[in-house]
Structure 1
Amino acid sequence: MHRNTEKQRTNITVDARTLAEARALNLNVSAISEAALARAVREAAARSWAEENAEALAERRAWIDANGMPLAAYQVLKTD
């Protein structure tokens, strides 16, 4: 997903050899860094959400274990 957002300059510290190799390969270090940071943010947010909602998710799983999947009788693709 590409968003037109305001960019902000920042400084990062990276291994000199890796940076030199990236430049020699004409890699866009800023774009790669931004993509890696965006991925890390998404993953951290997902972990945080899972931790915050762990109790509710466990309760739902327990309910399904006890009662079965809602509307399972109407499921088109049977897996059992």
Structure 2
Amino acid sequence: MAHATAAVSRKATNVTLPVDVYERAKELGINFSRACEQALRDAIKAEEGRRWAQENAEFIKNTNDWVEKNGLPLAEYRMF
């Protein structure tokens, strides 16, 4: 993933961290930009998933109710 992000334009930003976190990461040689980027990508993915589930909750409930009542469509053709 690090190679894929190298071609993307970058935006400099400031991040405020607790001193102990900063010092420990620095001691361990952790790349701050990459670590923050990955954490933000993970947070974005989680938030997008949460919002999608919230926005589609009624559809998901209706579909689950229908399957519970009628069974899976084409279930008779399942090979497992």
- Would you say same fold, with TM above 0.5? yes
Q: TM-score, normalised by structure 1?
A: 0.88
CA deviation vs aligned residue, 1:25-47 (integer Å, no higher than 9, x gap): 11111101100001000100000
Q: CA RMSD in A?
A: 1.3
What's the % identity of the aligned pairs? 34
Matched residue, 1:11: 14
Matched residue, 2:23: 20
Shift of 1:17: 1.3
Q: How does 1:1-80 map to 2 (within 5 A)?
A: 2-3=4-5, 4-77=7-80
Bigger RCO (CA 8 Å, 6+ sep)? 2
Q: Work out the number of aligned pairs and report it.
A: 77
**In 2, Cα distance between the equivalents of 1:40 and 1:76?**
38
Provide structure 2 residue ranges, at least 5 long, that are not aligned to the other structure: none
Provide structure 1 residue ranges, at least 5 long, that are not aligned to the other structure: none
Shift of 1:5: 2.1
| Amino acid paired to 2:30 | L
